[in-house]
Structure 1
Amino acid sequence: MKLWGIDLGGTKIECAVLDSDKELEVIARKRLPTESANGYEHILSQIKKLIDLVAEEVGERPSKLGFATPGVLEPDTQLMKNSNTTCLNGKAMGKDLEALLGIPCQLANDANCFALAEALMGAGKEYPNAEVVFGVIMGTGVGGGLVVNSKIIGGHHGIGGEWGHNILEENGDDCYCGKKGCVEQVIAGPALERHYERISGEKKSMKTILEEYQSGNNDHANATIERLLEYYGRAISTLVNVLDPGLIVIGGGVGNIDMLYSEGYERIKKYIFNKGVITTPILKPRLGDSAGVFGAALL
Structure 2
Amino acid sequence: MKLWGIDLGGTKIECAVLDSDRNLEVVVRMRLPTESANGYDHILNQIKRLIDMVAEQVGERPNKVGFATPGVLEPDTHLMKNSNTICLNGQPLKADLERILGVPCQLANDANCFALAEALIGAGKEHPTAEVVFGVIMGTGVGGGLVVNNKIIAGHHGIGGEWGHNILEEGGEPCYCGKAGCVEQVISGPALERYYERVSGEKVSMKVILERFHLGNDEHANATIERLLEYYGRAISTLINVLDPGLIVIGGGVGNVELLYTAGYERIRKYIFNKGVVTTPILKPKLGDSAGVFGAALL
Q: Distance in 2 between matches of 1:109 and 1:96?
A: 17
Q: Secondary structure at the match of 2:133?
A: strand
| Within-5 A mapping of 1:165-184 | 165-184=165-184
Q: Distance in 1 between matches of 2:72 and 2:98?
A: 16
Q: Distance in 1 between matches of 2:193 and 2:282?
A: 24
Q: Distance in 2 between matches of 1:70 and 1:270?
A: 33
| Within-5 A mapping of 1:78-227 | 78-227=78-227
Q: What is the root-mean-square deviation of aligned Cα atoms in Å? A: 0.5
Q: Secondary structure at the match of 1:3?
A: strand
Q: Distance in 2 between matches of 1:62 and 1:265?
A: 43
- Kindly indicate whether residue 96 of structure 2 is the aligned counterpart of residue 73 of structure 1: no
Shift of 1:21: 1.1
The number of aligned residues is 299
* CA deviation profile, 1:43-86 (whole Å, cap 9, x unmatched): 11110111111111111110000000011000000000011111
Q: Distance in 2 between matches of 1:288 and 1:90?
A: 31
Structure 1 partner of 2:56: 56
Shift of 1:256: 0.2
Q: Distance in 2 between matches of 1:159 and 1:250?
A: 19
Shift of 1:99: 0.8
Shift of 1:167: 0.6
Instruction: Give the TM-score of the pair, scaled to structure 2.
Output: 0.99
* CA deviation profile, 1:12-69 (whole Å, cap 9, x unmatched): 1000000111111111100011111111111111101111111111111100000000
* CA deviation profile, 1:223-278 (whole Å, cap 9, x unmatched): 11000000000000000000000000000000000000000001000000000001
| Within-5 A mapping of 1:16-35 | 16-35=16-35
Identity of aligned residues (%): 83
Q: Distance in 2 between matches of 1:35 and 1:199?
A: 35
Structure 1 residue ranges without an equivalent (≥5): none
Structure 2 partner of 1:238: 238
- Segments ≥4 residues shifted beyond 6 Å: none
Q: Distance in 2 between matches of 1:126 and 1:157?
A: 32
Q: Distance in 1 between matches of 2:21 and 2:129?
A: 23
Letter matched to residue 159 of structure 1 = I
Letter matched to residue 174 of structure 1 = P
Q: Secondary structure at the match of 2:271?
A: coil
* CA deviation profile, 1:135-169 (whole Å, cap 9, x unmatched): 00000110000000000000000000000000101
Shift of 1:109: 0.5
Q: Distance in 2 between matches of 1:23 and 1:298?
A: 12
* CA deviation profile, 1:94-125 (whole Å, cap 9, x unmatched): 00111111110000000000000000010000
Q: Distance in 2 between matches of 1:142 and 1:204?
A: 20
Letter matched to residue 72 of structure 1 = V
Q: Secondary structure at the match of 1:269?
A: helix
Structure 2 partner of 1:14: 14
Shift of 1:202: 1.1
Shift of 1:178: 1.1
Q: Distance in 2 between matches of 1:85 and 1:196?
A: 27
Shift of 1:5: 0.2
Q: Distance in 1 between matches of 2:88 and 2:199?
A: 37
Single out whichever of 258-267 and 34-43 deviates more from structure 2.
Answer: 34-43
Q: Distance in 2 between matches of 1:60 and 1:122?
A: 28
* CA deviation profile, 1:202-228 (whole Å, cap 9, x unmatched): 111110000000000001100110000
Q: Distance in 1 between matches of 2:292 and 2:127?
A: 20
Letter matched to residue 110 of structure 2 = D
